[in-house]
Chains A and B, each alone.
Chain A
């Protein structure tokens, strides 16, 4: 991607403006909080897991457009999937955002989430995109708290 402005494209701006699955989720049985101390992104995930299935998910918090859109699209993508399928997406999203997965050349399950591929060219913003996914991983593991600081 030659112009990282392309990252701020319609779909991301739309999710930033009208985040899906935003708010508290009744009957959620997993919760995790994620924050990015450097920029102040802070989100809380509420997840409902029935057996193997992610039957419900929502998020709350205050964050930049990249983080909020990432969280919004993530909730849409993982709802109805199994925990194992969601874990695969977490892994692939992280690899895409850090430039290890070339979404044009390698197989993946990311679908529309590839709008975030350009973030790999903005090192200071990679954490913003990844934070919701880290937090989801923490929710699956029932960790209370996560921070992108630990992985960089």
Chain B
């Protein structure tokens, strides 16, 4: 196998004291982190939008394109067979990464959004009808709202919303009350991109299952930051994206339980998803291929495999502990800034710091921080209902990854002070 291994041993001291993870060592793997923006060292704090890629993944992509590329699942020639093996090997890595039982439960998509749309189409349009109800939460990304709205409109079904408190935590009692005989599906984010909240999904899934209702989790913000075991969670579907976990754009993952995937209708028709085609009748391929019409993003899939190797070598528990320490440090410092309000103060949070400043619009914050070399997201974070819930047009959001440092948090805090000075 040609997958390059990480060029450094696992960090010795990480297991003893995760906060002392050798971040400088890891940062050296990321060429882009050496860049300057406006003459200042780049401080990349927009990881919830997309993460950066280590050299190991870049090398894997280059190696594939230079030496291994051919179409997969169809050639009898050596190159095609090897490309197929590498691509399917990436599927196995995903399977192990989230603790799935079988490789066929792993469907490659274009990203989280496509994964959710696939379930809406394949499961929702087949099994949800007039008068049925779908439960989502008040903190969903648009990608886990709009597909279900489209389904509700088409089928005359009804969307029910789990409310949240001012800290950005879902109200579990209200959630339990939403279930009735018409409830047919729950679609819920594992970690909120706008607030950072880590939802208590294990219990919420159990609640849904008591009513015989399947649950889809949007794992885009969870998979890169906390260890996910889908068998432990017992979720029915889990969708996430490669580009938020150090992999390439253009590939995502949808996990689904085998019995559900088997009874779903295909999402797109085309090559690769069929067993036999005549003009009278087509027999669909087995899962996962039934849902993978056309030539996929082969290089991106293999690159994702390399990203999983990279993250696994560091250890998701180490990553989670380190990022939590970063968040605590940033939260503490941000709280000391007069006029700053943190949006999203749940007890259990991923490393997302969403905030507003008195009298300063988040877009002005974003532009001025950029002048200091600091990249944050400013806007509604594709979660307009969250902004409406808090009565604000937008927030500025710093989102951390394991390659961020405490010094970068200091730079952010200094940057916020200089923004305030401009508007003073």
Contacts and interface: CB of A to CB of B under 8 A. Distances in A.
A105 B31 CA distance: 41
B15 interface: no
A39 B363 CA distance: 7
B367 A4 contact: yes
Nearest to A63: B361
B328 interface: no
B422 A40 contact: no
Given A38-B379, A39-B379, A128-B363, A62 B371 contact: no
A65 B363 CA distance: 8
B102 interface: no
A42 interface: yes
B130 interface: no
Nearest to B419: A8
A66 B387 CA distance: 21
B363 A5 contact: no
B422 A64 contact: no
A70 B28 CA distance: 44
Interface residues of A, number: 21
Contacts of B359: 17
* Residue from A39, A62, A125 with most neighbouring chain B CB atoms (10 Å): A39
Contact of A40 (B367, B371, B380): B380
A5 B368 contact: yes
Given A42-B393, A64-B363, A5 B379 contact: no
Interface in B355-370: 359-364, 367-368
Interface of A: 3-5, 8, 13, 16-17, 38-42, 62-66, 122, 124-125, 128
29 contacts: A3-B371, A4-B371, A5-B368, A5-B371, A5-B422, A8-B364, A8-B368, A8-B422, A8-B423, A13-B422, A13-B423, A17-B359, A39-B362, A39-B378, A39-B379, A39-B380, A39-B393, A39-B394, A40-B379, A41-B393, A63-B361, A64-B361, A64-B362, A64-B364, A65-B360, A65-B361, A66-B364, A122-B367, A125-B367
